[in-house]
Amino acid sequence: MHSPVFSSSNLSKGRRSLRGLVLILAGAVGVGGVASAGDMIITLDSITPASASFLGGVSVVLRGDFSTVFNTGPLAVGTFTEVYFSPFTIPMPNTDWEARIVSISDTEITAITPRVPGPTTTNGTHRVYVRKFNTILPVNLYTNQIDFRFTDTGETELEAAARTLNDNFDFLDTDNDGALSLNEAADIGVTPDQFEALDDNDDGQLTQEELANGLPEPTFLERLLELLGRLTNIAGILAFVLSLLQKILNLLRGPFVVS
């Protein structure tokens, strides 16, 4: 199913040599409009955040230009988009770690990071890239690679599973019943043993309350930052209320009062 992987230099040559043939074939199957060289080039500009736990399950947003001549028309049926993380300088989708795509547009992709062997691989520095391939022609297109760092956050395997499920709850809850089944949780790599450990009432369903119980206790710094955030919000509300009361008081005093 997968075509041979190109190196960066070979990929550039391949794009130029295949462009004419692809555009002719695209026209032959009914893709309208006049195609240009840009229709065969995809680029990756940024990824946010630029680091995540090596245990995976973190939502990231990739921005760039992912539109091609394959995006519309008959060829769109056979076109797929993938996101990979790799310790190598060339794309190797057969061995690289694939992310789970949540949503995609021509300029933005939201994906869930995969689990990788460990943060020590190449000192934690990996690369991320987007692959778009068409199974009808077939043609592979790759973006440039940008750096991404996998780190050890100190969480346990079970805590990571709870975080992954909690952070991606709405996406995983495909039947919208407000709970996750084992099949829904397994869709993102959670094992039956982890599911059972998080299922406090043993009903075969995971609620967000149960997942919250599986999360690690916040550190002192996290609690302090949360408290400061709440105090800041309260101070802002009080300032608004005082300002409003002052304006009301001025109105009650009459038009001769100078504010």
Would you say residue 237 lies in a domain?
yes
Q: 117 and 36 in one domain? A: yes
Q: 245 and 207 in one domain? A: no
Q: 185 and 137 in one domain? A: no
Instruction: Note the pLDDT tens digit of each residue in 213-246.
Output: 887 665 556 566 666 777 788 888 888 888 888 8
Amino acid residing at 166: N
Instruction: Note the pLDDT tens digit of each residue in 12-66.
Output: 444 444 444 544 454 444 444 444 555 678 999 999 999 999 999 999 999 999 9
Return d(Cα 76, Cα 68) in angstroms, integer.
10
Q: 83 and 18 in one domain? A: yes
Write down the pTM of the prediction: 0.69
Return d(Cα 11, Cα 6) in angstroms, integer.
5
Would you say residue 46 lies in a domain?
yes
Neighbours of 222 (CB within 10 A): 11
Q: 126 and 24 in one domain? A: yes
Q: Is 163 exposed, middle or buried (0-12, 13-18, 19+ CB in 10 A)?
A: buried
Q: 66 and 18 in one domain? A: yes
Task: State the residue range of the domain holding 76.
Answer: 8-150
Would you say residue 3 lies in a domain?
no
Q: 55 and 92 in one domain? A: yes
Number of domains in the chain: 3
Strands (E), 54-120: 59-65, 79-86, 97-98, 100-104, 108-112
Q: 233 and 200 in one domain? A: no
Instruction: Note the pLDDT tens digit of each residue in 146-186.
Output: 999 998 888 899 999 999 999 999 999 999 999 999 999 99
Residue 90 pLDDT more than 50?
yes
pLDDT of residue 12: 45
Q: 181 and 126 in one domain? A: no
